[in-house]
Amino acid sequence: MKEKRDRDGDGDLMLDVGQANEIKLAARRAGATNADLKLLSEGDVFTQILPVIRGFGEVAITKHIIDLDADPMVPNRWEVVEHRKGGQFEFNPDNIGLYLDEEQKSGKRIVGNKLRKKLANQPLFNANLLDFYLAHINLIPEDWKGKAVFFWATIYRLSDGDLCVRCLFWVGGGWRWNYRWLGFGWGDDGPAASRK
Is the CB of residue 96 less than 8 Å from the CB of residue 196? yes
Contact (CB, 8 A) for 168 and 149: yes
- Cα–Cα dist 196/18, whole Å: 39
pLDDT of residue 94: 94
> Does 152 score more than 80 pLDDT?
yes
| Model pLDDT, residue 11 | 61
Cα separations in angstroms, 132 against 3, 70, 125: 46, 12, 11
Asked if pLDDT for residue 100 goes beyond 90, the answer is: yes
Cβ neighbours for 68, distance < 8 A, ≥ 6 positions apart:
85, 86, 87, 88, 89, 125, 126, 128, 129
pLDDT in tens, 20-57: 888 888 888 988 888 787 877 788 877 888 888 888 88
Q: What is the pLDDT of residues 57-77, one digit of tens each?
A: 888 888 999 999 999 999 999
pLDDT of residue 60: 82
Q: What percent of the chain has pLDDT over 90?
A: 68
Return d(Cα 124, Cα 89) in angstroms, integer. Answer: 12
pLDDT in the model for residue 49: 82
Q: What pTM does this model have?
A: 0.75
Q: Phi and psi at residue 59, in whole multiples of 5°?
A: -95, 130
Which amino acid type is present at position 3?
Answer: E
Candidate ranges 12-21, 45-54, 168-177; pick with highest mean pLDDT: 168-177
**pLDDT exceeds cutoff 50 at 159:** yes
Number of H helices, E strands in the chain: 6, 11
